[in-house]
């Protein structure tokens, strides 16, 4: 599996700032240096799965979000993927897809 450490680091940085953590505070809680946090956030160093989980726990975020950029807690996390798939479909296929979705929604509502 390919891991984009630059994107992963940017996601960590984004959430860290949203949660009002400084690099210093995050580093202190993880018992690592601020240089290490900076290197992780800038994609210059790889982090272990254990460290990823520790960071996620401290920032109260699913570790999968840092890896994929997708938050499965969000109600519409598939919306961009679905839109991209539908973009190339001819109108008759879109109608078929809509009919199938309606059937599934109706079936699940029972």
Tens digit of each residue's pLDDT (9 = 90 or more) over 45-68: 999 999 999 999 999 998 988 998
Separation between Cα atoms, residue 23 and residue 105, nearest integer Å: 45
Average pLDDT over residues 70-90: 74
pLDDT at residue 101, rounded to an integer: 83
Q: What is the DSSP string of 36-65?
A: HHHHHHTTSS---HHHHHHHHHHTT--HHH
Asked whether the predicted pLDDT for residue 71 surpasses 80, the reply is no
Contacts of 19 (CB under 8 A, 6+ apart): 59, 60
Q: What is the mean pLDDT of residues 12-32?
A: 97
pLDDT at 110 over 60: no
């Amino acid at each position: 599996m390919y891991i984009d450490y630059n994107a992963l680091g940017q996601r960590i940085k984004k959430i860290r700032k949203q949660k009002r953590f400084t690099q210093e505070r995050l580093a202190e809680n993880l018992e690592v240096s601020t240089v290490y946090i900076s290197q992780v956030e800038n994609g210059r160093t790889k982090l272990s799965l254990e460290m990823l989980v520790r960071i996620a726990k401290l920032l109260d975020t699913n570790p999968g979000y840092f890896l994929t950029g997708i938050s499965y807690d969000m109600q519409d996390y598939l919306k961009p993927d679905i839109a991209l798939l539908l973009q190339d479909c001819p109108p008759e296929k879109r109608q078929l897809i809509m009919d199938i979705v309606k059937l599934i929604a109706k079936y699940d509502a029972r």
